[in-house]
Amino acid sequence: MTRRNSPTDSIKEPVRRASAQPWFERLARLGYAAKGLVYFIVGFLAAQAAFGSGGKTTDTSGALTTIVSQPFGKFLLFLVTIGIVGYVLLRIVQTILDPEHAGEKMDAKRIATRIGYAFSGLAYAGLAVTAVKLMTGSGGSSGNSTQDWTAWFLSQPFGQWLVGFGGAVTIGIGFSYIYKAFKGKFRHNFKLHEMSNNEQTWAVRLGRLGIAARGIVFSIIGVFLIQAAKQSDASEAKGFGEALASLQQQPFGPWILGLVALGLISYGIYSVIEARYRQIMH
């Protein structure tokens, strides 16, 4: 029996051909490196804030602002922006083709993974827009996007339920990162045959610490979203930088923030390792 073409096949084939080109892999690897630099800066600034040597808690948009303020900052930000665009293209390909899984069977886990790819692509597309605005001098991100989106959802029918659901999903994502860090299966995404034993060991260590740190921050963001839903108050919602700042306000806050900051620095380094050794298209 011959297989009938699905409506999505006409989309998949040109995407598959494009993703097989050498330029696509180079652009995707630059994307991992750019993401690594952004998270390294976020973690470095948070570590400075935790240990009282300047710095501040910020998010990825704040990291871009830090980059553009350096000598030759616009040129460096231009390179980072190209990388971010490459990462967005990779996420689009992963959403459409699901290259990291084999077979045709589509189960709930794979659907959720592809939805995650899509949302990740949207988030980094927004970050790329912010970068372009900073380069052109038209300003970066304005206001608090997390609170803006929360306010918009709260104004919709069943808005509190939508925001609460979003918070629960965000906590779920955070826990999934922590579980991923614990299991360490992400090592199979690397070209292990090209890595020494020492490189493999450090990639796993940095990955575990970094991915767990992201999981903690996402879980905190989710808790704040649920709080915003309960009180129907968008100002209760917190973004990445504010979630980090909340850690500093807890007992032993500087130590907790310092550990998470070191985790984010580790994630930045881990992403650079991904840029070199990750299998882009399985």
* 111-143 pLDDT per residue, tens: 888 888 899 999 999 999 999 999 988 766 555
Q: What is the DSSP letter of 234?
A: G
Using the predicted structure, report yes or no on whether residue 53 has a pLDDT greater than 90. no
In a domain, 282, yes or no: no
- Average pLDDT, integer, range 192-212: 95
- Looking at every residue in the chain, the average pLDDT score rounds to 88
Q: What is the dihedral of CA 53, 59, 63, 66, to 10 degrees?
A: -60
CA distance 88 to 173: 19
pLDDT of residue 105: 59
The tokens describing 28, both together, are 């995707």
Residues 6+ apart with CB under 8 A from 50: 248, 254, 255, 257, 258, 261
**Is there a domain that residue 16 lies in?**
yes
pLDDT exceeds cutoff 70 at 27:
yes
Measure the CA–CA gap between 157 and 131, rounded to whole angstroms.
34
CA distances (Å), origin 214, targets 22, 39, 68: 31, 10, 24
Please check whether residue 107 lies inside any domain of the structure.
Answer: yes
Residue 164 has pLDDT above 80, yes or no: yes
| Full residue range of the structural domain in which residue 191 is found | 9-277
pLDDT of residue 234: 92
Task: Indicate the number of domains in the chain.
Answer: 1
The mean per-residue pLDDT over the stretch 144-156 comes to: 87
Please check the confidence at residue 60 and state whether its pLDDT lies above 60. Answer: yes
Contact 173, 117 (CB under 8 A): no
User: Is 23 within the bounds of a domain?
Assistant: yes
Residue 1 covered by a domain: no
Q: Structure tokens of 111?
A: 């659907």
Asked if residue 173 is part of any domain, the answer here is yes
* Residue 24 resides in a domain: yes
Give pLDDT tens digits for 232-262.
Answer: 999 999 999 999 999 988 888 899 999 999 9
